[in-house]
Structure 1
């Protein structure tokens, strides 16, 4: 007998009370330094505007995004705090940065000249933070170029350089030596800046990894992303902070079918029923962000019990071995996160498939329905 029901697809239930809980733990951990909530990439898949507004309600006044469009979306959603745009700007965007009160990232003398020319033409320019490359070898002013840059900055008094920052490459790894080297490089840059007469209201280097293991990196502002959302950046950092998962990712069982032992299930026929059982179809797939490679070791959780994924994850759905399960069509299964009866931490999945929570969170697709709870 086949039981079917038409259901909606995956849900991302965002527990804003858990978000606030995590923020308060982090705030205490960083000795009450100001926190910049990193909400780029749709707040790591959690919904940037609701997340930012919830955090703003408890005092967060800095937000980090990657693109100008992400910053504008926050403003249009009613976020009034400071917004730092991490990507390298182009001069065409400068009027929009002024219009929407966005703070830009400056990484070179060329950027500085663009700001100078814009100010000459318009009489104003956006606030900026200068980014220093202390060892990430990505965006940022090389340490050996800072003296020349600060000399030029001194000759460009109309540029509002309110902050200075860098980014750790290895702060979430067990060996702290390279992170400490980056910290020393950053401190040397601050020393050079001070000798040349510069002071900065906002100085930031620390990220989620260094929040947990490098307190000397906190400075005046601490950037935090993944920890806010209730996941640890790696297994090599201390996990003594009792953070809670913010996202509960679920999907419905839409079909149940009894099959005999030996029945092949899903693409490639790589899974065969080891005994007579019930195969359930769960309406979520890799197009929605559920990882295809999770099928080999993967499971879902329902009513306090875990059940193995049966066969390859498909684009829109996957199958589960519900042997001896109390399950019916319409039941919502937990994919990852936590609720009253079930728990699958995203770190468990990422470790199993050789990925990271960052990748899994930001893969959550456009067909997912978002539900915000807790505030």
Structure 2
């Protein structure tokens, strides 16, 4: 265990359980690209990637080449797609570390071709098609022509074509179905041009849960691998277990009188004499200040309110007349004594989503990897 009284527990068994659920859902004829960008959504990319590849994952995806380099430096050589369009200065990294770039413009393709030619190599690429996300990619109604242009570049090999849903996590699937039709139009055009592509992918977590027609040859599970459904409007067709717990310990406790103000700005006053416990976790660790006077924690299996302004390194908890002592375990996210606080519980308090909650956990918070509550 870390010496610092604030840590994240990452349950690798829960992660593997979720990954097996994806495999059961999509079948064995579909590849799984495990998405480990943003430090595996805050969970620890190297350890999570290693667990994924030891299980059902066929390959990996990250947002930036620098994230992939961390995996390579850890000895992970699996096929890795980089979602974000490369900048010019990043081009050599794709070749030095054998990464797969996402190509969303002819300019990027031409630069990659130039770099590949200099190195006398062929560079595998996945071409991004914009079917309605409005972000990266070739416009769907002209994408086939652009893909033909790329296919003629002798040092590039189109091994994948993909797109991205904009609203698959909503109950109304009409726009997603429209996107699927657009992507199908592109694939049909490529078929007529006799351009064969190995990896065709569009489904993230929401698509995996609700749109089996979007599986194609590969899927890209993200948030569901970490134990959360992408919204409260998707089905729960794959059972999931939360992977992350955020814990700390009481570092100080004292009784204060009625009408005592707590923390910066005096935004909370006690209504009677109570015991205030101080916990050494704050917004520098990823606990949003927007949770001031809104969040709660578990201590001894009971739920208590976080009171006063959340500070950089500390929060205070009103435990009333209950007995709480220095060293007692505190749970911000996780289970204790039969009670549970999830990332969804926290997210609802500040009108956000579990993605932001888990991704916001600071690098200064140690990650402890466990298997069913035992250190790995």
TM interval, short-chain normalised: over 0.9
Matched residue, 1:180? 177
Residue of structure 1 in register with 2:41 after alignment: 44
- Could you state the TM-score of these two structures normalised by the residue count of structure 1? 0.94
Q: TM-score, normalised by structure 2?
A: 0.94
**Match 1:136 to one of 130, 133, 136:** 133
Determine the C-alpha separation between the residues in 2 that align with 1:217 and 1:10: 41
**Where does residue 244 of structure 2 map in the other structure?**
247
In 2: Cα distance, 1:96 partner to 1:118 partner: 11
Report the equivalent of 2:267: 270
- Does the 8 A contact of 2:141 with 2:186 survive in 1? no
Q: Provide Cα deviations, 1:187-222, integer angstroms capped at 9, x if missing partner.
A: 111011111111111010001112111111111110
Shift of residue 244, structure 1, vs aligned partner: 0.8
Q: Deviation per CA, 1:84-116, whole angstroms, max 9, x where unpaired?
A: 011111344333322211111101111222232
- 2:32 is matched with which residue: 31, 35, 51? 35
Match in the other structure for 1:17? 13
Aligned equivalent of 2:105: 108
Please give the alpha-carbon distance, in whole angstroms, between the structure 2 residues aligned to 1:248 and 1:342. Answer: 13
* 1:20–1:54 Cα contact (<8 Å) kept: yes
Give the drift of 1:71: 0.7
How many matched pairs? 369
1:119-146: CA deviation from partner (whole Å, max 9, x where unpaired): 3322113211000011111111111321
Could you tell me how far apart the structure 1 residues matched to 2:217 and 2:336 are?
Answer: 36
C-alpha distance in 1 between matches for 2:62 and 2:117: 28
Shift of 1:8: 2.2
1:281 to 274, 278, 282: 278
Residues 302 and 333, structure 1, Cα contact 8 Å, conserved in 2: yes
Query: Do the aligned partners of 1:173 and 1:237 also contact (CA within 8 Å) in 2?
Result: yes
Maintained 8 Å contact 1:283/1:316: yes
Provide the residue aligned with 1:85 in structure 2. 82
| CA spacing shift, 1:342–1:132, aligned 2, 3 Å | same
Q: 1:169: how far off? A: 0.8
Structure 1 Cα separation of the partners of residues 77 and 365 of structure 2? 27
Query: Matches of 1:241 and 1:296 in 2, distance apart?
Result: 34
1:356 to 341, 353, 358: 353
Instruction: Determine the C-alpha separation between the residues in 1 that align with 2:101 and 2:148.
Output: 20
Shift of 1:308: 0.8
Mapped to 2, the partners of 1:242 and 1:324 lie a distance apart of 39
Contact 1:98 1:125 in 2 (8 A): no
Which sections of structure 2, spanning at least 5 residues, go unmatched? Answer: none
Work out the CA distance in 2 between the residues paired with 1:340 and 1:190: 52
Displacement of 1:326 in angstroms is 3.4
Q: Which residue of 1 aligns with 2:121?
A: 124
Distance in 2, Cα, partners of 1:92 & 1:302 = 49
**What does residue 69 of structure 1 align with?**
66
**1:262-304 superposed Cα distances (whole Å, 9 cap, x missing partner):** 2111122221112221000011001100121123331001222
Secondary structure at 2:156's aligned position in 1?
coil
Deviations along 1:209-258, whole A, 9 cap, x unmatched? 12111111111110011000011211111134321111110112111010
Tell me, yes or no, if structure 1 residue 171 matches structure 2 residue 163: no
- Give the whole-Å Cα distance in 2 for the aligned partners of 1:263 and 1:117: 68
Q: C-alpha distance in 2, partners of 1:185/1:75? A: 36
Greater Cα shift, 142-151 or 341-350: 142-151
| Contact persistence 2:38–2:359 (CA under 8 A) | yes
| 1:252–1:282 CA contact under 8 A, matched in 2 | yes
CA contact (8 A) 1:94 1:126 kept: no
